[in-house]
Structure 1
C-alpha cells in the first residue's frame, strides 16, 4: 500500500493524521468528560474518587485540569508532549486504580484514551501545531 502514496506526500499525511488525532482525542475528552466535570464541579467535589488521598475536591481539580486545560492545549498542539503527561496519568489512574477491580471492559475505555496520549508524548504534535510554529520561529524546525 505504501507504493500507492507518493513519497513527497507522506510527511504531510503523517502530520495531517496527527492533527486529526489531536483534535479528535482532545475534543472527545474535553466535551465528554472534562466539561461535564467542570459544569458540575460543586456537585461532584464531595463524592469524586480520591485515589491519591488528596481529597475529592483536589482530585476533581486535577482531573478537570487535565481533561479541560490539557485537552485544549493538546488540540492546539501547544506544549503537546508536556500536556500529554497529565492526560496519560489521569487515564492510567482511571484504568488501574478507579477501575482496578472492574472487568476489562471498564479499563479498556480509559486505555483507549491513554494510547494516543502516549503516542503524542513520543511523536510530538506534528507540523500542523503551535509547537511547530513556535519552533520554526525560533529556528528549531
Structure 2
C-alpha cells in the first residue's frame, strides 16, 4: 500500500528551481484549460449552453458530466496539486478523444489544441505535481 501511495503522490523534479517551474507550468496550463474550455460550460450563447460532442455515444448526462468535470473541477485540483496523477486522467481522456475522434478529419490548426493539451497533461501524469503541491504534503504526512 505504501508503494501505491508513493507512486501516486510522490514527485520531486530534482531541484527547487525545477519544482517551481513545474508548479508554474501546472497552474498556467490548468488555468488556461478552465478559462478557455471550462467557462464555456457556464456561458450561454444564443440562449443555449455549449454543445458537448458525444463520439463514444455515452449517455448524454454522463458525457456532459465527464466533459464538465475535466474542464472545470479537474483544473482547480491540478493547480492545487491534489491527486494530480489521478485527476489528469479524465482530462487526458477528454482531450485525447477530442484529438483522435472529434477532430480527426479537421486541419492541423484545429487538431493542434487537443493534441497539445493531451501531451501536456500526459507530462503531468508522468512527472506528478512536484514538491510544491498538496500531493507532496499529503505524502509527507502519510509516510511519517
TM-score (norm 1): 0.84
Say which SS state the counterpart of residue 100 (structure 1) adopts: coil
Aligned structure 1 segments of 4 or more residues deviating by more than 6 angstroms: none
Q: How does 1:111-122 map to 2 (within 5 A)?
A: 111-122=115-126
Name which of 15, 19, 23 aligns with 1:19: 23
Q: How does 1:101-112 map to 2 (within 5 A)?
A: 101-112=105-116
Name which of 26, 44, 51 aligns with 2:49: 44
CA-to-aligned-CA distance 1:73-96 (integer Å, 9 cap, x gap): 101000000011111111111111
Is there any run of 5+ residues in structure 2 with no aligned partner, and where?
1-13
1:128 partnered with 2:120:
no
Name which of 61, 65, 69 aligns with 1:61: 65
Larger RCO, structure (CA 8 Å, separation 6 or more): 2
Provide the aligned C-alpha RMSD in A.
2.0
1:60: Cα distance to partner? 2.1
Is there any run of 5+ residues in structure 1 with no aligned partner, and where?
1-9
| Alignment check: 8 A CA contact 1:49 1:56 kept | no
TM-score (norm 2): 0.82
